[in-house]
Amino acid sequence: DAGVIQSPRHEVTEMGQEVTLRCKPISGHDYLFWYRQTMMRGLELLIYFNNNVPIDDSGMPEDRFSAKMPNASFSTLKIQPSEPRDSAVYFCASSLRERVTDTQYFGPGTRLTVL
């Protein structure tokens, strides 16, 4: 299996622009997670899905952030409008069935820079 796939790997944009990050989970995994990692705050869970349904979005920082999972093989995280403080590495992860506490497999991340 190719593992979790994320695109783009790097994104540089200007403040106010819309940013869309994409993720393809490992086939057969029922859970999908979006994280953000910064030096100051470490790795933080933003939102997670089970069978394409958002379960907990309490980590989403504000209304500028939204996430969707239209099918089992694709998810997006959108920031509109983007701000410099959104600069971070965004990871997508997926885990197998049954328990939300199972091992998570991370994608390579998207390094976002907002100027």
Partner 1 sequence: RKEVEQDPGPFNVPEGATVAFNCTYSNSASQSFFWYRQDCRKEPKLLMSVYSSGNEDGRFTAQLNRASQYISLLIRDSKLSDSATYLCVVNNLGSSASKIIFGSGTRLSIRP
- Residues of this chain that interact with partner 1 (CB under 8 A) are 42-45, 48, 56, 58, 91, 99-101, 103-109
Nearer to partner 1, 10 or 15 (CB): 10
**DSSP labels for 72-109?**
TTEEEEEESS--GGG-EEEEEEEE-SS-TTS-EEE---
Nearest distance, CB of residue 109 and partner 1, angstroms: 5
Q: How far is the CB of 32 from partner 1 (least distance, A)?
A: 13
Residues 29, 101: Cα–Cα separation, whole Å: 13
Compute the radius of gyration of the chain from its Cα atoms: 13
Quote the least distance from Cβ 43 to partner 1, whole Å. 4
Q: Which is nearer to partner 1, 44 or 83 (CB)?
A: 44
Around Cβ 101, how many Cβ atoms within 10 Å? 8
The nearer residue to partner 1, 40 or 62, going by C-beta atoms, is 40
